[in-house]
Chains A and B, each alone.
Chain A
């Protein structure tokens, strides 16, 4: 049939000639190619824990709970992040701010317990988008490996940013 696109190539498989059939020249050619790799090509491996590839700017890693300019926790435990989370990785328990704690929490309500299950989290960033207080960002590193499932449930001790003056 006539080719309409004119792109068709007719490949013919000719029987091998003697040079090709004795196989050894092809072997020698192959050996020289692999030897070039052995001698001259540098490896492309990134030696991971010691050496890290640079992340892209919008890389989403481990979460951090932010503080405001005065070092107070921004989170008000509204639960929107937990609600938006498609993997249901976030839970929290809210508490009321007592008088005298104004330097610790920005709003009258705060998260007494805030937990993210890193095994459930899919790092989609929807919690970050849902947060009205700009309290949560996925701006950390890769979540490290661990041995036990319970150790992947990160509490406030691991999530909250370090206080300002330290």
Chain B
């Protein structure tokens, strides 16, 4: 790899890292504000105009709070838990293509940190690593609520990963590649995968809710039964890391869904736009479109949170094993038949 490309990559890594952190920060604000609007309230409105500085105030509060490590906890693992959670949340975005190739000077650069040919598997690996942060943290706390929350998180993630993987298989049969860059490029213009895999997308988004521990699948931290769930014993910035990891996960899974099903950086009329704006501006517009899609998904996550109540544990397992997995398998068969007879 030559120096120019290396610099572009490094800049890209830093920028994406910052963007995911800022988005996670402002997701907390957006969540509170959106929750307020859904409930006919105002939401945070004291720190800065319309409460825009609220995340900074929250962050400062998190850092300044007393940090408590329980005496009977396993100290090393207690610290490893949140670190692992936030690390796996952050590295997930490495394979996502953020735009088309951009021309700087006379050379073309990918707007993607790395294009590994099994990018989808990488994302799956990282997502399933994410549950270790919760597991280790909950277990190391030496608290029954934390342990129960961690066990719930683990069983939930394992169950829904299967359905998620199966729904992806149907998508792979259509795209014939695991590389996210190619999947994104295939959906040029309006040829989005949602049109070819609408059912698979519904399965995928339900599983994505479960994987990110969002309502209606937020059993690992359900306050009514488990105090704080897996982060009951956590305080200060270690708690902040867990909360941050959840929002970064939301951002990354929004990005994955936008890339896999909703056309990534593609939008109808992109060729016309590219013809009129040139090879520098057009990819950036594509990136803006991608981010708009991601924000819509984040909004959707929050919208569902304030609509649907939490599942009971047995209902969760019932839906996962008896509902989604058979449906995902049926989807694979259906896709196979469709490819065989209509293509």
Real binding pair: yes
Instruction: Give chain A's interface residues, CB within 8 Å of chain B.
Output: 24, 27, 30-31, 33-35, 37-38, 41-45, 47
Does B343 lie at the interface of the complex (its beta carbon under 8 Å from any beta carbon of A)?
no
Known: A24-B202, A27-B308. A34 touches B38 (CB 8 A): yes
Partner of A42, one of B34, B40, B45: B40
Convert B35-46 into 0s and 1s, putting 1 for each residue whose CB lies closer than 8 angstroms to a CB of A. 011111110010
Known: A35-B303, A38-B34. A30 touches B40 (CB 8 A): no
Q: Which residues of B contact A27 (CB under 8 A)?
A: 304, 307-308
Does B306 lie at the interface of the complex (its beta carbon under 8 Å from any beta carbon of A)?
yes
Tell me, in angstroms, the Cα distance from A18 to B306 when the chains sit together.
25
Q: Which residues of B contact A44 (CB under 8 A)?
A: 40
Sample of 5 A–B contacts (CB below 8 Å) = A34-B38, A34-B307, A43-B36, A44-B40, A45-B42
Tell me, in angstroms, the Cα distance from A107 to B157 when the chains sit together.
81
Chain B, Cβ-Cβ closest to A41: B40
- Residues of B142-199 contacting chain A, CB below 8 A: none
Contact B42–A30 (Cβ < 8 Å) = no
Q: Which residues of A contact B37 (CB under 8 A)?
A: 37-38, 43
Give, as a whole number of angstroms, the nearest-CB distance from B321 to chain A.
Answer: 15
Known: A45-B41, A47-B42. A34 touches B36 (CB 8 A): no
Tell me, in angstroms, the Cα distance from A33 to B304 when the chains sit together.
11
Tell me, in angstroms, the Cα distance from A125 to B34 when the chains sit together.
43
Interface size class of chain B, counting residues whose CB lies under 8 Å from the partner chain: 10 to 19
Contact A31–B304 (Cβ < 8 Å) = yes
Q: Which residues of B contact A31 (CB under 8 A)?
A: 303-304, 307
Contact B303–A37 (Cβ < 8 Å) = no
Tell me, in angstroms, the Cα distance from A93 to B38 when the chains sit together.
56
Nearest 3 Cβ contacts at the A-B interface: A30-B307, A34-B307, A45-B42
Q: Which residues of B contact A45 (CB under 8 A)?
A: 41-42
Tell me, in angstroms, the Cα distance from A99 to B264 when the chains sit together.
92
Q: Which residues of B contact A47 (CB under 8 A)?
A: 42, 45
Tell me, in angstroms, the Cα distance from A27 to B216 when the chains sit together.
11
Q: Which residues of B contact A38 (CB under 8 A)?
A: 34, 37-38, 303
- Residues of B252-300 contacting chain A, CB below 8 A: none
- In this complex, the member of A31, A42, A44, A47 whose beta carbon has the largest number of chain B beta carbons within 10 angstroms is A31
Give, as a whole number of angstroms, the nearest-CB distance from B262 to chain A.
Answer: 18
Q: Which residues of B contact A24 (CB under 8 A)?
A: 202
Tell me, in angstroms, the Cα distance from A37 to B36 when the chains sit together.
10
Chain A, Cβ-Cβ closest to B43: A43
Tell me, in angstroms, the Cα distance from A35 to B302 when the chains sit together.
11
Give, as a whole number of angstroms, the nearest-CB distance from A31 to chain B.
Answer: 5
Give, as a whole number of angstroms, the nearest-CB distance from A5 to chain B.
Answer: 34
Tell me, in angstroms, the Cα distance from A33 to B307 when the chains sit together.
8
Chain B, Cβ-Cβ closest to A47: B42
Give, as a whole number of angstroms, the nearest-CB distance from A28 to chain B.
Answer: 10
Known: A24-B202, A27-B308. A34 touches B40 (CB 8 A): no
Contact B42–A37 (Cβ < 8 Å) = no
Q: Which residues of A contact B39 (CB under 8 A)?
A: 37
Q: Which residues of A contact B40 (CB under 8 A)?
A: 37, 41-44
Contact B308–A37 (Cβ < 8 Å) = no
Chain B, Cβ-Cβ closest to A32: B307
Give, as a whole number of angstroms, the nearest-CB distance from B331 to chain A.
Answer: 14
Give, as a whole number of angstroms, the nearest-CB distance from B179 to chain A.
Answer: 31
Tell me, in angstroms, the Cα distance from A33 to B308 when the chains sit together.
11
